[in-house]
């Protein structure tokens, strides 16, 4: 009896060691894959605060929460199964789908640039979301839906990059890594977004601190700096988000063109980046990355500019007609 019990305990210990090793492997793969998706993560964190601007302070965190829930649903319930199925049954379709997502990012970014250059274009879009037309909650729902739509593309890029970074192995391991990365990135991104959108409220509370000491005066100074600095910070963050959308989208399309297009395109890009790196060997890595990012940004802005009339005069009216026909 004791021998059998000892054997059983040995088996349990062996299983526990295998499980621990598997968890360590999953954690390591998730960390590496998450690092490779950092560019899209920055994009996501920079873009999201724009969707709560203009709403009452008490609605900011609920809106961020709704977007976070939608993001988790995008990643875990929709994109994770799709990524696994495509990776297993149709891996050749992954890159073209990524390129379509990249084109959407370019369109979104270019549209924001157009709104900055031509403010009346922005006012036209705002008129479509006039609170008087459908109520404040309707506007909130529109904003949340728009944020989740944009997040879907960004999440798709994150999941695709993660899948590409995972070594070939068990589909269950791949699924677990995708789930860990998807959940971790979502919690991290929207946790940061929540801090950003509530920073002005925190600053206001600090500015009202009634302590008479030197420390109290310092707290009030920090609070006033937060209140005064947040509009400029959000403006800079919005600019970074727009640039990131164009850069990430253009980079995805550029890599797709290098894969499917004439080889001369890829060779030319690499030649230009290598020449720039050789010109400044002390910072070769930074220069090479910067030049490739600049090329991706120019390509992304061009594709986005071409996509605007296609969407506004072709796809958008067709989609509206389809929705009206369904409602009829």
| Per-residue pLDDT tens over the stretch 135-159 | 556 778 888 888 888 788 778 878 8
Q: What is the radius of gyration, based on Cα positions, of the chain? A: 24
Domain coverage including residue 246: 40-327
Say if residue 132 is exposed, middle or buried (CB neighbours under 10 Å; 0-12, 13-18, 19+): exposed
pLDDT above 60 for 206: yes
pLDDT above 90 covers a percentage of the chain that reads: 4
Is 44 in contact with 252 (CB distance < 8 Å)? no
Of 119, 43, 17, which is closest to residue 300 (Cα–Cα)?
43
At 326 the three-state DSSP class reads: helix
Q: Which residue has the higher pLDDT, 58 or 78?
A: 78
Q: Pick the residue with more confidence: 231 or 11?
A: 231
Residue 169 is assigned to a structural domain of this protein: yes
Q: Is residue 116 situated within a structural domain? A: yes
d(CA 26, CA 36) in angstroms, rounded, equals 15
Instruction: Confirm whether 219 is domain-assigned.
Output: yes
> Is 35 inside a domain boundary?
no
What is the count of structural domains for the chain? Answer: 1
pLDDT at 8: 45
Flag whether 308 is in a domain.
yes
Q: What is the model's pTM?
A: 0.70
Q: Which of 65, 36, 31, 73 is nearest to 48 (CA)?
A: 65
Q: Is the pLDDT of residue 196 over 80?
A: yes
Measure the CA dihedral 204/207/209/210, to 10°: -130
- Interatomic CA distance for residues 65 and 71, integer angstroms: 10
| Domain annotation covers residue 218 | yes
Query: Is residue 7 included in any domain, yes or no?
Result: no
**pLDDT tens across 100-140, in order?**
878 888 888 888 888 888 766 544 444 444 444 445 567 78
């Amino acid at each position: 009896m004791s021998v059998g019990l000892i054997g059983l305990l040995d088996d349990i210990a062996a299983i526990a060691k295998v499980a621990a090793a598997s968890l360590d492997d999953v954690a390591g793969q998730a960390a590496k894959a998450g690092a490779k998706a950092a560019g899209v993560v920055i994009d996501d964190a920079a873009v999201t605060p724009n969707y709560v601007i203009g709403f009452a302070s008490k609605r900011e965190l609920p809106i961020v929460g709704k977007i976070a829930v939608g993001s988790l649903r995008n990643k875990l319930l929709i994109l994770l199964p799709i990524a696994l199925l495509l990776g297993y049954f149709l891996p050749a379709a992954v890159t073209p789908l990524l390129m379509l997502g990249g084109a959407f990012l370019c369109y979104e970014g270019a549209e924001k640039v157009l709104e900055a250059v031509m403010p009346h274009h922005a006012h036209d879009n705002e008129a479509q979301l006039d609170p008087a037309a459908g109520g404040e909650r309707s506007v909130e729902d529109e904003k949340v839906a728009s944020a989740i739509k944009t997040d879907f593309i960004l999440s798709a890029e994150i999941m695709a990059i993660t899948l590409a970074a995972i070594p070939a192995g068990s589909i269950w391991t791949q699924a677990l890594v995708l789930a860990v990365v998807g959940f971790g990135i979502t919690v991290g991104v929207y946790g940061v977004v929540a801090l950003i959108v509530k920073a002005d409220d925190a600053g206001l509370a600090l500015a009202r601190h009634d302590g008479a000491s030197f420390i109290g005066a310092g707290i009030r100074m920090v609070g006033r700096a937060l209140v005064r600095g947040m509009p400029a910070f959000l403006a800079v963050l919005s600019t970074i988000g727009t640039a990131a959308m164009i850069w990430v989208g253009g980079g995805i399309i550029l890599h797709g063109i290098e894969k499917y297009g004439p080889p001369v395109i890829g060779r030319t890009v690499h030649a230009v980046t290598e020449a720039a790196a050789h010109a400044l060997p002390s910072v070769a890595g930074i220069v090479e990355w910067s030049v490739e990012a600049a090329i991706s940004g120019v390509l992304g802005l061009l594709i986005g500019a071409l996509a605007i009339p296609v969407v506004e005069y072709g796809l958008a009216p067709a989609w509206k007609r389809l929705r009206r026909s369904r409602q009829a």
